[in-house]
């Protein structure tokens, strides 16, 4: 099983719009990453997001690029300050690949928790518009399979 964790793209400043939608640069970076994900054959049926504008827009761009079969779903437990154990329990019971468009510090803590069982141990650096792919082996252990950021694409 694979888990794709994507930090939302760069948002506009809060002074410009308190909802903090994606900036032009953020949309461009997310589109670039979504095209890469399509080229490498990411196959998920749903993308979860927190409901915050920037995460929802990120999920929608990725879904539109990956194909018409994609669902975009707001999910509790993936907001910036949510407890990672809630979504980790759901991830552990899932049989198919999953994709979450989310935020810091949640994504970093979730990655640490899955890989080390301790959310306080940093194991990956999330950049805006970047994706960390985790892979679960047959024994149920998680490891980082790859990390890509828009700047290297």
Q: What is the CATH number of domain 2-152?
A: 3.40.50.1240
**Residues for the chain: how many in total?**
153
Q: Read off the DSSP letter of residue 117.
A: S
Per-residue tens of pLDDT for the chain, all 153 residues = 999 999 999 999 999 999 999 999 999 999 999 999 999 999 898 999 999 999 999 999 999 999 888 899 999 999 999 999 999 999 988 888 999 999 999 999 999 999 999 999 999 999 999 999 999 999 999 999 999 999 887
Q: What three-state secondary structure class fits 49?
A: strand
pLDDT digits (tens, 9 = 90+) for 55-65: 999 999 999 99
- CA angle, 15 as apex, 10 and 21 as ends, to 5°? 35
- CA dist 118 and 60 (Å) reads 31
Quick one: angle between helices 84-93 and 106-116, nearest 10?
A: 50
Alpha-carbon dihedral sign for residues 94, 107, 81, 35: negative
Q: Which of 139, 115, 104 is nearest to 3 (CA)?
A: 115
- DSSP class of residue 29 equals H
What pLDDT is recorded for position 68? 80
Task: Please give the backbone phi and psi of residue 89, each rounded to the nearest 5 degrees, phi first.
Answer: -60, -40
């Amino acid at each position: 099983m694979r888990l794709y964790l994507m930090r939302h793209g760069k948002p506009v400043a809060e002074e410009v719009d308190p909802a903090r939608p994606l900036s032009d640069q953020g949309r461009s970076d997310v589109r670039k990453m979504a095209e890469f994900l399509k080229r490498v054959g990411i196959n998920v049926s749903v993308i979860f997001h927190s409901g915050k504008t920037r995460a929802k827009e990120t999920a929608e761009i990725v879904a539109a690029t990956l194909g018409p079969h994609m669902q975009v779903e707001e999910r509790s437990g993936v907001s910036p300050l949510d407890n990672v154990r809630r979504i980790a329990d759901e991830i552990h019971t899932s049989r198919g690949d999953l994709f979450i468009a989310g935020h810091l510090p949640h994504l970093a803590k979730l990655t640490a928790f899955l890989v080390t069982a301790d959310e306080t141990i940093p194991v990956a650096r999330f950049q805006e518009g970047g994706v960390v792919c985790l892979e679960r082996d047959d024994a149920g252990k998680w490891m980082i399979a790859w990390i890509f950021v828009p700047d290297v694409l």
